[in-house]
């Protein structure tokens, strides 16, 4: 290391300057973290940060969704994991690491342990199923999972076991994750359609797609969110009951993200050599068949890293709903700071919120880099 850091007068100066910079910035930070900060605000409001005002009696449904997530993770690793590597161990160990948080209740710790057990058991059991049905099961699980948990979390009007929990009570990290998931699930197909429309030879469809994509990409998301809150109600006939505010935000997010997905998929479509289209037609496949079986799978696989990057951006962008009054993770943080008990704890609360976002985003981008390396979609 000495050779690298001090192998010339320029490098030596750089190293010393960098060290000085690091020490200068870390000293006040470390002293604040360990002595000056009022960390009590976090454990006191942990439930709010995690799930907003979701009723305490129904929290078991949230844990159920997390068990299902653990099961899906186990299935996914069993289906596509090539070998037991470090990333997999870390993923499974996450519930165990979270158990170390000092302020969690005993039930929370027990639930986390169950999550870990479910993931491991699913993984081990699924390994006994031969490969092809295993992959099929994993794909079905992934497709079914998101609509299923939205139903579980929302509940039903008529049910006694799972009564309706209106979306006005969803908040905190729960709401942020739900907004992102709904955004991704609905914007991706719409984006594919738009990309295909943009590639179309029919001028009317191409023009409509282009107008939509360029319009949405040219305006900030916050303006779409405001527009959604103010104008979506006006689009429906006079007298319709007010639409759920979370639904308005979801519509804005889906419409916004679809345009960006469309551009990414279009880049993928353009990378497919013409020979593929020609070969498909030579084989007698119709336009629809050649698209769905030949072109789209290749196009989408080629742009997976970019798409994942965009989805990470979507997760971070859901924080903007705090500015239209929804109580997502950031919104709840601001309302916590409005509480006179916790006056002056801005730094602590915002640092923790930023940390939570950071952990999720970094984990997703790290996973994407792993997938990219595994499928060798990188450069030559």
Contacting residues toward another protein, per CB under 8 A? 1, 4-5, 11, 14-15, 18-19, 21-22, 201-205, 208, 214-215, 217-223, 226-227, 230-231, 233-238, 312, 316-317, 319-320, 322-323, 330, 334, 346-347, 350-351, 353-354, 357-358, 361-362, 365
Nearer Cβ to another protein (11/105) = 11
Nearer Cβ to another protein (294/353) = 353
We find the least distance from the C-beta atom of residue 27 to another protein, in angstroms, to be 16
Neighbours of 234 (CB within 10 A): 8
Nearer Cβ to another protein (136/217) = 217
We find the least distance from the C-beta atom of residue 14 to another protein, in angstroms, to be 5
* Alpha carbon distance, N-terminus to C-terminus of the chain: 29
Q: Which residues contact 365 (CB under 8 A, 6 or more apart)?
A: 308, 309, 312
We find the least distance from the C-beta atom of residue 204 to another protein, in angstroms, to be 4
Residue 320 tokens read as 């903007």
We find the least distance from the C-beta atom of residue 317 to another protein, in angstroms, to be 7
Nearer Cβ to another protein (119/326) = 326
Nearer Cβ to another protein (153/224) = 224
We find the least distance from the C-beta atom of residue 29 to another protein, in angstroms, to be 12
207 phi and psi, to 5 degrees? -65, -45
Q: Output the CA–CA distances (angstroms, integers) from residue 139 to 28, 71, 145, 150, in the order listed.
A: 49, 13, 10, 18
Nearer Cβ to another protein (126/180) = 180
Virtual torsion, Cα 122, 125, 130, 133, nearest 10 deg = -40
We find the least distance from the C-beta atom of residue 224 to another protein, in angstroms, to be 9
Nearer Cβ to another protein (87/361) = 361
The secondary structure of residue 242, as a DSSP letter, is P
Nearer Cβ to another protein (102/203) = 203
We find the least distance from the C-beta atom of residue 257 to another protein, in angstroms, to be 14
We find the least distance from the C-beta atom of residue 116 to another protein, in angstroms, to be 25
Is residue 3 classed exposed, middle or buried when 0-12, 13-18 and 19+ CB atoms within 10 A define those classes? exposed
Neighbours of 80 (CB within 10 A): 13
Neighbours of 269 (CB within 10 A): 21
Distance between CA atoms of 310 and 264, rounded to whole angstroms? 9
We find the least distance from the C-beta atom of residue 295 to another protein, in angstroms, to be 19
Neighbours of 58 (CB within 10 A): 17
Beta bridge partner(s), residue 170: 52
At residue 170, the 3 state secondary structure works out as: strand
The answer to whether 337 touches 345, Cβ cutoff 8 Å, is yes
Neighbours of 28 (CB within 10 A): 10
Interhelix angle 304-317/172-199, nearest 10 degrees: 140
Distance between CA atoms of 281 and 289, rounded to whole angstroms? 10
Nearer Cβ to another protein (138/353) = 353
């Amino acid at each position: 290391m000495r050779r690298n850091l001090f192998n010339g007068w320029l490098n030596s100066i750089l190293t010393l300057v960098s060290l000085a910079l690091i020490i200068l910035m870390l000293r006040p930070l470390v002293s604040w973290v360990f002595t000056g900060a009022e960390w009590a605000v976090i454990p006191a409001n942990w439930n709010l940060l995690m799930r907003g005002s979701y009723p305490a009696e129904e929290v078991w449904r949230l844990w159920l969704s997390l068990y299902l997530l653990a099961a899906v993770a186990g299935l996914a690793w069993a289906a596509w994991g090539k070998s037991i590597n470090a990333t997999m161990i870390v993923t499974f160990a996450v519930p165990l690491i979270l158990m170390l948080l000092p302020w969690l209740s005993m039930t929370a710790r027990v639930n986390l342990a169950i999550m870990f057990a479910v993931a491991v058991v699913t993984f081990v059991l699924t390994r006994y199923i031969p490969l092809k049905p295993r992959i099929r099961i994993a794909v079905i699980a992934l497709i079914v999972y998101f609509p299923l948990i939205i139903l579980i979390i929302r509940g039903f009007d008529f049910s006694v076991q799972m009564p309706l929990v209106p979306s006005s009570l969803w908040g905190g990290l729960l709401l942020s994750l739900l907004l992102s998931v709904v955004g991704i699930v609905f914007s991706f197909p719409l984006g594919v359609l738009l990309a295909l429309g943009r590639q179309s030879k029919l001028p009317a469809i191409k023009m409509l797609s282009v107008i939509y994509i360029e319009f949405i990409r040219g305006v900030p998301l916050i303006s779409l969110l405001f527009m959604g809150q103010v104008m979506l109600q006006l689009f429906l006939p006079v007298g319709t009951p007010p639409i759920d505010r979370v639904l308005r935000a979801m519509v804005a997010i889906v419409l916004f993200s679809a345009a960006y997905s469309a551009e990414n998929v279009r880049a993928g479509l353009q990378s497919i050599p013409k020979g593929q289209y020609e070969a498909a037609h030579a084989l007698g496949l119709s336009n629809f068949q050649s698209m769905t079986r030949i072109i789209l799978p290749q196009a989408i696989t080629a742009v997976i890293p970019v798409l994942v990057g965009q989805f990470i951006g979507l997760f971070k962008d859901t924080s903007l709903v705090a500015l239209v009054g929804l109580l997502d993770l950031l919104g709840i943080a601001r309302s916590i700071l409005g509480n006179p008990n916790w006056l002056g704890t801005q730094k602590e609360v915002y640092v923790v919120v930023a940390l939570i976002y950071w952990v999720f985003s970094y984990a997703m981008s790290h996973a994407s880099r792993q997938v990219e390396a595994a499928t060798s979609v990188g450069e030559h």
